[in-house]
Amino acid sequence: MKLVIALDNLPSLVGRELAVSDWVEVTQEMIDRFADVVADHQWIHVDIDRATRENGGTIAHGFLLLSLLATLSDQKLEWRGFSRRMNYGFNRVRFTNVVRSGARVRLRDKLLSIENKATGWLVTRDCRLEIYGDTTPALVADWLTMGIP
């Protein structure tokens, strides 16, 4: 079930957890495909034998995990009253834990603030990418999105 977020209910949601996504497995195939797209083939991500021997397995790229925020957010949030929404940036991003190939992650999403700007509504959310079975999240970020009415 999705939470509907519209211009008229945005103020009432400030400070509230908006959604917790479903768990998604971060597979080696995802890691390899991301490595190909961004041309980052560091051994810790793609060399299964070496990473297993030296590190207990491969790990996902931090920017792969960051890129999952959009998909995981869209799983549970439906935005209405906006002609479009655009990434505006991040106030902070911290990669606080590694995600090994085969681990499952989910997004915990909280609305921090909204601000009416000349071009639309600036929405700031606290996003935490949790790792199944671990108390330390993979990443924490203040994600800014501009909603254009």
Q: What is the mean pLDDT of residues 97-115?
A: 97
Number of residues in the chain: 149
Residue 82 has pLDDT above 90, yes or no: no
Q: At 6, is the pLDDT very low, low, confident or very high (cuts 50, 70, 90)?
A: confident
Look up residue 82 and give its amino acid. F
Q: At 11, is the pLDDT very low, low, confident or very high (cuts 50, 70, 90)?
A: confident
Residue 108 has pLDDT above 90, yes or no: yes
Q: What is the mean pLDDT of residues 124-131?
A: 98
**Is pTM beyond 0.75 here?**
yes
Contact 16, 9 (CB under 8 A): no
What pLDDT, on a 0 to 100 scale, did the predictor assign at position 48? 98
- CB within 8 Å of 135: residues ≥ 6 apart: none
Largest CA distance in the chain: 54
Query: What residue ranges define each of the domains in the chain, with the CATH number in brackets?
Result: 3-25+60-148 (3.10.129.10)
Residue 91 has pLDDT above 90, yes or no: yes
What pLDDT, on a 0 to 100 scale, did the predictor assign at position 9? 86
